[in-house]
Structure formats: structure tokens, C-alpha cells
A and B are shown apart, each in its own frame.
Chain A
Amino acid sequence: MNKQPLPDLQLTGITGGAGGIYDNVILEGVCKVNGAVRAQVIKANGVITFNGDATAEEMQANGKLKVSGTLQFGSMEFDGMMTIDRDLRGENCILNGMLTIKGDGELENLSGEGVFTVSGLLSAGHVDYRLQGQAKAGEIGVETLVIRKAGGSLWNKLASGLIPKLRTELITRSIEGDVLDLEFTTADVVRGGIVKIGQGCRIGRVEYLTELSVHPDASVGKVEKGGE
């Protein structure tokens, strides 16, 4: 890399900026960045739109974020609502709020609270997520996965009875992983080493290698032990 210090991009208010290679990108307000951005640090607060790919070592964002390409980062902390039109790739991710990925999600660590929708494959090292609404993923492939229901308020419980979309659950076609600890999950197939099916799960078929436990409140179609 060249030794020259990289410029910063700083936008405040209702403005737009151009993409490029930066050191720090600090966006506040209603900002739109046109073109691909690569930066050491991206800090974004407000309603932010990246028209293109965004890449950052470190990312902190609050508010509403839209990326019309692929988002890549080393670590990210995010609160709010995020939409990514292509793929999400990163190492560590703490995510509270709503995440929509129209492509695939590839993360080493994902933790947080809220809802996520991944159209393609969610592939991760470790996922520890507390659901607050209906989360969806095409497929999930992980090393360890822990899905819990966040302590919802009474209103939430009432509303979820009336509007199915507000029901707290994870819907996916298949989950594959080494250690799976699930609650309130609906899946066609679950395959794993150690599998724990908790309350509120509806699983079509479970294939496990070493250990399986099923909560009495869960419904499981077919069970198969592999590795014989």
C-alpha cells in the first residue's frame, strides 16, 4: 500500500458524497454515497445509503442503512434497520434491530437481538441471536447456533396472536451445524452433531450424530441418527 495518508470523508446534513478509498468515513444525517467505498472506519448515524459496495475494517452505524451492493467488514456494531441488496461478509457482528440481506450472509460471529431476513444462505461460525419477531433464512450453515426468544412485552404477545407476521419465530428450509440449540424455529430439515430442539420448534426432519434432546412442546416429524 502507498504511504500517503488517506483522506477522510465527512458528511453532515442532507448531502451526498462520492465513493473511493478513505481512512475514516463519518456520515451524519441523510447521506448518500455514490460509488464503491473502502475505508478503515465507517461511522454512520441517520439515514444512510451506499450506492455500491461498502468495505470497512470497522463499522459503527445507527439508524437506517441501505447498501445497494455487498457490505464487507472486519467488525460491525449496528442498531437500527439495514438492507443489503447483495451479500454481507464480515468477521464479528453485533446487530440489534432489523437486518435484510437479499443475497448470502457470511459471518464468523453474529450476536444480537431483533429480526433478520436472509434470502440465500446464512453461513456463520457462531450465531447467538435473540428473536423479537419473524426471522427468515433460506438456509443456515454454522458451527454453533443458539436461537432464543427475547423477553417480549405483554402487548407484543397480544399482537402476535392477531398478526402472524409479529409472531416470534425463525423460519428456514434447512439448518446444518455442529452444535444447534434452537427455540421457536420452523425448519424442514435440521442436521447436526449435537442438536437441542427447544420449545416452540416445528421441525420436519432431524438428523443428528451424537446427541439429541427434544422439548416436550416441540414437534418433530422424523428423527434419524447418522454415522452408523
Chain B
Amino acid sequence: MEEDLISKKELLELTGISYGQLYRWKRKQLIPEEWFIRKSAFTGQETFFPKERILRRVHNIINMKGDLSLDELAEKLADTTSYAHPHLSLSAAQLLERNIVSLTTLNRFGDATAGGKKYTFEQVVHLVAVDGLLSKGEMNLDEADGLFRTLTKNTAKFAGKNWELFFIRKMGASFFLLAATPADLIFDDGTRLVSRLSLTDLVEQLNGKLN
């Protein structure tokens, strides 16, 4: 999968955190080991991170660490269900106002989910997933319909466990795959993995916007 990477040095410059903080957070398992990607560069070995995810994570840590100790934070980050807001409900206006879901997505799928006017946390997560893929131009509206149906119907089966969404294409036909994490899937040669989203990422993205 093609994902934008950011070098450790750029990350520190961009976020203003220090080497010590980064290592401390890693020790406290605030940043998963898998995000440290080693690559050889002209200066020798360098560490890179998945850009979008690490920036969001660092942002969230900085935001939350005022109220919580690092250990509490680690627990919160490790367990998605706990920092998901089970009782959260947002109205369509709030979703738009906080820039969580775009108007197009909401118009198309909003009615399908909401019996009333409020959206539950789970529904919001689904909307965010669909919205993200749509706005990146990675899938068309018909596929979005399919994805939204799949998510609505099936995510409850994971019963609070983490899942990942794989969106793949082969010969123009598209598929969605939901798998419990951690999952390593291997596809045959003609297959293109368009996108990979995990529940953790979605929830974190959402949390960043809610705080």
C-alpha cells in the first residue's frame, strides 16, 4: 500500500516534540512499534512513520496529556472501545459544523441511517469511513453505497473488537473486506489494494475532531 511517510526529523520539526518525548511515548506504548519503519537513507539508517497516522496520534497525545497521565493515556489508546464514546450522539448539523462528514456524504447516506436526527458513534464512524474514501476520490458513489451497507450490516459482528477494512480492485471490479486486526492479507498479482482503514484510525481521526 502506498502511504505517505514522514521522517523522524521532519516529524519532530513539524510537531515541536523532542527525541526524548518520542522515545518516552514509544516506551509507554503510545505509539505502536509497527509505525517505526526503518529505511536506509543517505545518512545511514533512518526511521520513518506513516505520516497521516503519526501526526494525528501526536496531536491527540498532546491534546490529552494535560488531563491524563501517560499510563492512563496508553490504556486509552490501546483500547479502542474505551475511548470510543458509546453514548455519543451527534446531529447532522454538528457533523457538518465540526467538519466530520461532508455534506455530499451526509445527504446521500444520512437518511439511510438516521431514524431520528441523531447519529450514534458507530454510525458516525461508518460515515467517516465512507466520507474519507469518497473525498480522496478512491471510490465512486455506487461503491460507497455498497461499502456503507456492508459496514452497517457487519461491524456489529466484531463485538467491539478492532477491525480493518480492505478495499481492493481487480479488473475494474471492486471488493470490500472486513477483517479482525491484526490481519495480514496477501493478494494475487492483478489485485490492487486501493485503501486500508482500521477502526483505530477512524476513531482516532474522529476523536481529534471532537476534542
A interface residues, Cβ below 8 angstroms from B:
106, 108, 123-125, 141-144, 173-174, 176-179, 188-189, 191-193, 205, 207, 226-227
Instruction: Report whether over half of chain A's contact residues are helix, strand or loop; otherwise say mixed.
Output: strand
B182 an interface residue at 8 Å Cβ cutoff?
no
Q: Which of B9, B20, B21, B22 has the most CB of A within 10 A?
A: B20
Pair B19/A177 contact, Cβ less than 8 Å = yes
Q: Which residue in chain A gives the minimum CB-CB distance to B9?
A: A226
A192 CA / B18 CA spacing, docked (Å): 8
Number of cross-chain contacts by CB at 8 Å: 49
Residues in B with CB closer than 8 Å to A227 are 13
B85 to chain A, nearest CB (A): 29
A-B contact pairs, 10 of them (CB 8 A): A141-B19, A142-B19, A143-B19, A143-B20, A176-B19, A178-B18, A178-B19, A191-B19, A192-B19, A207-B9
Residues in B with CB closer than 8 Å to A192 are 19
B11-47 vs A, Cβ < 8 Å mask (1 yes, 0 no): 0010000111111101100000000000000011100
Pair A142/B43 contact, Cβ less than 8 Å = no
B183-203 vs A, Cβ < 8 Å mask (1 yes, 0 no): 000000000000000000000
Pair B44/A176 contact, Cβ less than 8 Å = no
What are the nearest 8 A-B pairs in CB distance? A143-B20, A141-B23, A178-B20, A176-B19, A123-B23, A178-B18, A106-B27, A177-B19
A34 to chain B, nearest CB (A): 29
Contacts known (A205-B43, A226-B13, A227-B13); A125 close to B24, Cβ less than 8 A:
yes
